[in-house]
Structure 1
Amino acid sequence: MSFKKSMKGMLAVAVVTGIVGSAHVFAESQAAPTMHKDVLGGGVLSNMPGAVWATPDEVASSKQGLREMGELESQKLKGSGVAGMASDQYDIENNPIKIGEWNKGDCGKDISDTYARHTIGTKTDTSNGSFLTTHGNATWYNTSGRNALPYRNGSSTTGQNTVDVAMGIYFSIRDVKRDIAYDVYRDDFGPNQCPQKETLRKTIVDLDKDTFIKLHGNSSDGIFYARTFVKLTSYNP
């Protein structure tokens, strides 16, 4: 089966329910998480119990830091454009961190394990904190304006309560081949970084469908090669 044909079938399973989160909330409610599916079959979670949300000052510093990171990137690529970016580099997660058992079926039949990424990539220190540059695939999972990153957010049933990237921060996402970038807001966790599925471990961000289209030009491709800038709370490569 061709990739486009298989993608057409997977697009039908994308779950689009969800409620927009608030940057002024410090922790999620204790209700059970809501699971969505992206177009690659990866699980995305909303309303994770105990998830830590950025304070208003942290949200502001994430925006300011992204401007610094953008300026550094522009200087680095001056004269070379998109050709100067790492078009074949993938920051693949090879030893994902088990944080819970919320994602039934993601990693195999009757398996509910939920896995996060380490903060793999390049760390840059700015006047607004440390930022992580990561390269990998982007996909989409909803039409409600939500966006997800697969880093630990303080929610765990396995003792992995470290916050590597807080909820409610802004991060930068670029379609490398089209050389288009936007700053978007982190609402959710995902995709699940299943050890058995390299496709998911190469995926570094899950987007809202409209954001995906603005960056990539269509939603039917299902994935594109991306670069992200993400503000770090903790650095655990």
Structure 2
Amino acid sequence: MARLGARWRSVLVAVLAVMLLAMPGLVGFASNKASTGGAQTEPPEVAVQRKETVTLPNGCKKEVFYADIYGQKGAKWKEVFYDRYGVWQKEVIYDSAGGQVIRLPEWTGEALRQKGLVKDLSLTEVRKQEEAIYRLDNSVPNPITSRMVTPQAIANPGGYYDVETNPIPYYGVWARHTLGARYPDNYLLTYGDASYYYSPPASPNGPGCALPYRWEDVGYNTPVGIRDLQTDRRTTVYRTDFGPNQIPGTDLCYRIIDLGPDTFKLLHGSLSAGIFYGRTWLQVIQYNPA
């Protein structure tokens, strides 16, 4: 009996050792699964000061987060909506100039991949696309004359803008047409205002950004060349979010991209302006002008 007890103790110790070794992987797996299908956790640079939980008339709930961001104390940072069973339905993140970045369950990377709307790029393909965008960007001089009068534009009133006058209803929000100049291989040049928000999901290929186009028109992980026409600096980012929401009758019709704060600062020198005038280069899946 003593020998049998010792044998079982040895087996038990071995099983516990295996479980302890496997625990970090199991925890990581659970963490990854939890982060892919719902609202994202707060980025480290956002210190949430206050959170409110609001019950809506239909029995659903939303959480409203306030933080010291964009040069304001206690500014509204984001709203997260849940159905009456507590299942995540929508996330609205506010950017540096009052715009909205929208996240829905249908727009996660996994959901878009199932629809064939994710652009997987090898390192060679990344360099090829970045070089193509760089060549196109350098081939077009900065605009001198105005395309249309834009007295409401924030960053460059009266400048050369591609203005969205009839945004597309899209999943309960508003998307932008693929406005701008079309180039070979479906490359699109668009002029407008750029803002920033906390924080775009990173792409495997580089910094993320939000674009206001339908996912069917510009896919997830599409490379985007962005040039600040006020500093003449440029870089490449990758689409991982939807926004700014092109709300009709607002100055958001001049807005063409939302960047992460690091990219915005790299291009514009600081975050204080909250917005700058620039242009984007990207390759569309389908050309969908107004």
Q: Do they fold alike, i.e. is TM over 0.5?
A: yes
Higher relative CO (Cα under 8 Å, sequence separation at least 6) belongs to 1
Provide structure 2 residue ranges, at least 5 long, that are not aligned to the other structure: 1-69, 81-86, 147-155, 203-207
Q: 1:89 to 1:186 in 2, by over 3 A?
A: same
Find the partner of 2:176 among 117, 124, 130: 117
Residue 165 of structure 1 aligns to a residue whose secondary structure is coil
Q: Distance in 2 between matches of 1:225 and 1:10?
A: 26
Q: Distance in 2 between matches of 1:85 and 1:59?
A: 38
What is the CA-CA distance between 1:76 and the residue it aligns to?
Answer: 3.9
Find the partner of 2:223 among 156, 167, 170: 170
C-alpha contact (below 8 Å) 2:210/2:240 kept by paired residues: yes
**Bigger fraction of residues in strand:** 2
What is the CA-CA distance between 1:60 and the residue it aligns to?
Answer: 6.4
Determine whether 1:147 maps to 2:209: yes
Q: Distance in 2 between matches of 1:164 and 1:220?
A: 32
Q: 1:168 to 1:10 in 2, by over 3 A?
A: farther
Determine whether 1:209 maps to 2:261: yes
Q: 1:72 to 1:172 in 2, by over 3 A?
A: closer
What is the CA-CA distance between 1:42 and the residue it aligns to?
Answer: 1.4
Q: 1:230 to 1:11 in 2, by over 3 A?
A: farther
C-alpha contact (below 8 Å) 2:227/2:279 kept by paired residues: yes
What is the CA-CA distance between 1:170 and the residue it aligns to?
Answer: 1.3
Determine whether 1:190 maps to 2:246: no
Q: Deviations over 1:37-57 (max 9, x none)?
A: 112221102344054532425
What is the one-letter code of the residue matched to 2:278?
A: A
1:18-33 correspondence runs (5 A): 32-33=89-90
What is the one-letter code of the residue matched to 1:139?
A: S
What is the CA-CA distance between 1:147 and the residue it aligns to?
Answer: 1.2
C-alpha contact (below 8 Å) 1:131/1:231 kept by paired residues: yes
C-alpha contact (below 8 Å) 1:174/1:180 kept by paired residues: yes
Identity percentage of aligned residues: 33
What is the one-letter code of the residue matched to 2:160?
A: Q
Provide structure 1 residue ranges, at least 5 long, that are not aligned to the other structure: 1-6, 18-29, 102-113, 154-162
What is the CA-CA distance between 1:15 and the residue it aligns to?
Answer: 4.3
**Bigger fraction of residues in helix:** 2
Find the partner of 1:100 among 142, 161, 171: 171
Find the partner of 1:39 among 84, 96, 118: 96
Residue 68 of structure 1 aligns to a residue whose secondary structure is helix
Q: 1:14 to 1:135 in 2, by over 3 A?
A: farther
C-alpha contact (below 8 Å) 1:15/1:142 kept by paired residues: no
TM-score (norm 2): 0.58
Query: RMSD of aligned C-alpha atoms?
Result: 3.0
C-alpha contact (below 8 Å) 2:79/2:92 kept by paired residues: no
C-alpha contact (below 8 Å) 1:62/1:169 kept by paired residues: no
Q: Deviations over 1:199-237 (max 9, x none)?
A: 211000001111111110111111000110011001010
Q: Distance in 2 between matches of 1:209 and 1:72?
A: 25
Q: 1:177 to 1:8 in 2, by over 3 A?
A: same
TM-score (norm 1): 0.70
What is the one-letter code of the residue matched to 2:226?
A: I
Q: Deviations over 1:45-85 (max 9, x none)?
A: 234405453242599656523422321332444xxxx5769
